[in-house]
Structure 1
């Protein structure tokens, strides 16, 4: 009854606020926000010391949960509770308010990006040799989302080397420089951080967007490309110190403005490849000093903002028209093909050389292609992907683009991993009652040979291998969590390392050498 009364009160209050607010004047709820929230989250809700409070940034925090956070605060952050200052109706109204879209796409361009730029430790002050002893290419960066930290983990001894605070809500997976010295992080709020693993110190930070999907690092280590939902932009950063170089508006050939689903580096092509969420286009953007001349179709963005470091002719793009909007990506090992899927469950294979869709994919549900992997199966390369909706793993022939197998699982999964030196592929069951299960699949028989349950009742997710493939590391996705190390041959537990809700673990060798068992 109390919950029903609270809900009714919130609805009445919100209705009254909307009805009584005069255009140009603040509502009572807006005044509450300015009084209690704006100092940390910004007067415009775009974020400050606290995260942005916009529906695009709060998809994992529903209004009821947001009201609880307002009342109780949030552990492992500076967010206090307001239960002693605000009524239940006021807190419910604030929760609804922060889930209300802004009237227009907010501005975040070169001037705002440049103003956010922070240099923590100039590169010339940092030594060129590691301050600790370890195989630098067998390190892991473990993202602990429970209290917004990251741990540098030795992949030989499995001992943590260093733990440090990150920006709130990292998203999209960290990326490395080619030598593994630097790691780049992106937060959902658009903060990009460059961290020096050798010296265990941050180098620089910049806020490149308001709601960011992911980042990519050019193969020559010169540029970072940032994909944004808000605003509708791709942002180029100088990888040396994260100084902004260029803002590229995500606008389709018909003039439609679009969110950017994701951006990846096509290393052999010396380009970035981006998918746009609201228009049926894929873009290839060159970062070469001279525009490519091996095929036609490159165009230039001649809009130059005050503060652009590069001439307008830099970063030309090619537009590739596709049959449907793409949300997720997968590349073949040679980066000739990009495979994409939409939220509608449709899949397309795009030949980047010919700029054409060459095949459709028959994969039901919502395959999670960005966690897909490849291996050799009976003399042919296959791609395997978990599925966010269906309880199965799809295996696809990468020549015919036809299904080889659909492997039933205990539920829909999120992450899949393998390694060249192991006969097994591992996939989690991230959602539902069997979220504590981890399937181990024989890559030749295409059958599940074992189902592990590292922590019964707790979510097991995101496998990553050591550089030699000898050990597999599994995350227990819980505040009282751990990274569990398994012998990849015997499938027996070797070690358990306590951590605070660890999510992804990223091995330097596998990510920089593009292991076929690791997403790129």
Structure 2
């Protein structure tokens, strides 16, 4: 090898070491940059995957400087990295401009096109799980590393099956009332239903380019899917066949918005829906005997006059003081605690359909992961905050702050169990302590221990066994570093390690169906 060749080889190796990408990347145009940097998360055709779709419709609310800023700096509370250290300002601007242009074709989602993707198979007549295990104390583990659902026995901690899913399942699996079936949604709009007793997939359908999450009705008859592109709420039957599409727009059609979340409210027999850009909340009843809905905004009686429609699968609209991006149900489901990205937090009463109180929560509370428990004879809620290193504990009778518990960094998930003395908080988005779990005593609201079993590895998302005896936490790393760690909830020691492929979440059938006070719903 000549000296000149050696120098060239060293330069290539140095470029790879510094940038982590082939040197040819930096001489390519925006399409090539997208392919090499973005497609893995956002899809080869820009229609979404682990990350949202990056089409003109999905980024139209962001001005070009904002898109540039997101590419350069990343995004808070997401897995979007910062590329300022890898790309030049000119390349970032070029990529942002390209994302504002339309691709050759964008999929359309009508009832007909959805039906064309629908598949289902007959359900086996079973009285219980084929494996003979406990029908309730089993976990569904979302393994993002190789796109599988793992069904895990919660008694023996044995893997019962690994079921292949579509790309980037997200938003939390939802169980049927008997715990037999679980429904999941992928970022790119696929909804799938799995039989946890027969250990097989039984139905699937694609309803959108980009989906936020799903909810299953308390009677198991309906599935609601919240989408960001197109901006729709899609109602499916229990077999995932499409029934209805509700556009995410105001009654006068002057406002439209991506949907941020949909959740089931069992005592009300309805789905509750929030939006990312529209200051409106929907309650969509799945009770066929629901009272008629005056399809107008609650504070505009002239608009509502004479517009009564059947209440079944039709939105009852409530105007809000601000856009509600995240929310949590107080026990009883009459009151909903909401938070906006602008920093406002307030309580909405679903019966009178208006905000009734504000909350002393600054920053960006992560209410979707909140839990309730008894403290000093009162029912309280605990929530993390994506911008503040604290756990906020709120009195649910007085809507007052009881205590702020300091954390090592902004928290993400908080979990507990009614039979456990402790609650666990992860800080998976905090660079300085993403590898820790903070353990807090529910009787004193004091930190009693910090768990850090895998230094440098993201450690997050606790879920308890049905009896509360053990807690499972994820080491959210690709194989071979990914794992589920089983924690004894009395000694707070790790007692078992189960290999996993980047397990981003795990969900216990009993806790979810029976609404354990220590888990989000």
Pair in the same fold by TM > 0.5: yes
Report the alpha carbon displacement of residue 287 of structure 1 after superposing the two structures with TM: 0.7
Q: For the residues of structure 2 that align with 1:400 and 1:487, how far apart are their CA atoms?
A: 35
Does the 8 A contact of 2:163 with 2:201 survive in 1?
A: no
Report the alpha carbon displacement of residue 345 of structure 1 after superposing the two structures with TM: 1.6
Match of residue 230 from structure 1: 229
- The yes-or-no answer on 1:493 pairing with 2:494 is yes
- The yes-or-no answer on 1:281 pairing with 2:280 is yes
In structure 2, the CA distance between the partners of 1:182 and 1:97, relative to structure 1 (3 Å rule), is: farther
Aligned-residue Cα RMSD (Å) equals: 3.3
Match of residue 258 from structure 1: 257
Does the 8 A contact of 2:55 with 2:100 survive in 1?
A: yes
Q: For the residues of structure 1 that align with 2:445 and 2:433, how far apart are their CA atoms?
A: 21
In structure 2, the CA distance between the partners of 1:414 and 1:95, relative to structure 1 (3 Å rule), is: same
- Render the CA deviation track for 1:335-385: whole Å, top value 9, x for unaligned: 011111011121110000111100111211111111100011111111000
Does the 8 A contact of 1:328 with 1:370 survive in 2?
A: yes
Q: For the residues of structure 2 that align with 1:363 and 1:51, how far apart are their CA atoms?
A: 28
1:172-187 mapped onto 2 (5 Å cutoff): 172-187=171-186
Structure 1: unaligned runs, 5 residues or longer: 15-28, 69-90, 301-310
Report the alpha carbon displacement of residue 454 of structure 1 after superposing the two structures with TM: 2.0
Q: Secondary structure at the match of 2:171?
A: coil
Does the 8 A contact of 2:232 with 2:259 survive in 1?
A: yes
Match of residue 484 from structure 1: 485
Match of residue 138 from structure 1: 137
1:343 pairs, out of 333, 341, 353, with: 341
Match of residue 330 from structure 2: 332
Does the 8 A contact of 1:126 with 1:199 survive in 2?
A: no
In structure 2, the CA distance between the partners of 1:419 and 1:299, relative to structure 1 (3 Å rule), is: same
Q: For the residues of structure 2 that align with 1:61 and 1:426, how far apart are their CA atoms?
A: 25
1:470-481 mapped onto 2 (5 Å cutoff): 470-479=469-478, 480-481=481-482
2:415 pairs, out of 409, 414, 417, with: 417
- The yes-or-no answer on 1:398 pairing with 2:399 is no
In structure 2, the CA distance between the partners of 1:257 and 1:101, relative to structure 1 (3 Å rule), is: farther
Q: TM-score, normalised by structure 2?
A: 0.81
Report the alpha carbon displacement of residue 106 of structure 1 after superposing the two structures with TM: 6.1
Match of residue 192 from structure 2: 193
Match of residue 219 from structure 1: 218
Does the 8 A contact of 1:118 with 1:205 survive in 2?
A: yes
Report the alpha carbon displacement of residue 291 of structure 1 after superposing the two structures with TM: 2.4
Q: For the residues of structure 1 that align with 2:360 and 2:501, how far apart are their CA atoms?
A: 39
In structure 2, the CA distance between the partners of 1:447 and 1:62, relative to structure 1 (3 Å rule), is: closer
Report the alpha carbon displacement of residue 493 of structure 1 after superposing the two structures with TM: 1.6
1:265-414 mapped onto 2 (5 Å cutoff): 265-292=264-291, 297=294, 314-414=312-412
- Render the CA deviation track for 1:18-53: whole Å, top value 9, x for unaligned: xxxxxxxxxxx59x99xxx9xx968x65479x9966
Q: For the residues of structure 2 that align with 1:455 and 1:277, how far apart are their CA atoms?
A: 36
Q: TM-score, normalised by structure 1?
A: 0.81
In structure 2, the CA distance between the partners of 1:409 and 1:114, relative to structure 1 (3 Å rule), is: same
Structure 2: unaligned runs, 5 residues or longer: 1-10, 60-70, 298-308
Q: How many pairs align?
A: 459
Does the 8 A contact of 1:177 with 1:217 survive in 2?
A: yes
Match of residue 20 from structure 1: none
Q: For the residues of structure 2 that align with 1:105 and 1:362, how far apart are their CA atoms?
A: 43
Report the alpha carbon displacement of residue 149 of structure 1 after superposing the two structures with TM: 1.1
Match of residue 122 from structure 2: 122
Does the 8 A contact of 1:482 with 1:501 survive in 2?
A: yes
In structure 2, the CA distance between the partners of 1:99 and 1:156, relative to structure 1 (3 Å rule), is: farther
Q: For the residues of structure 2 that align with 1:146 and 1:164, how far apart are their CA atoms?
A: 13
Q: Secondary structure at the match of 2:233?
A: strand
Does the 8 A contact of 2:290 with 2:310 survive in 1?
A: no
Report the alpha carbon displacement of residue 297 of structure 1 after superposing the two structures with TM: 4.1
Report the alpha carbon displacement of residue 54 of structure 1 after superposing the two structures with TM: 4.4
Q: Secondary structure at the match of 2:484?
A: strand
In structure 2, the CA distance between the partners of 1:98 and 1:144, relative to structure 1 (3 Å rule), is: farther
For structure 1, which segment, 125-134 or 186-195, has the greater mean C-alpha deviation from structure 2 after superposition?
125-134
Deviating 4+ runs (over 3 angstroms): 1-10, 44-48, 50-65, 91-107, 125-129, 296-300, 311-314
Match of residue 308 from structure 1: none
Q: For the residues of structure 1 that align with 2:106 and 2:329, how far apart are their CA atoms?
A: 31
For structure 1, which segment, 223-232 or 98-107, has the greater mean C-alpha deviation from structure 2 after superposition?
98-107
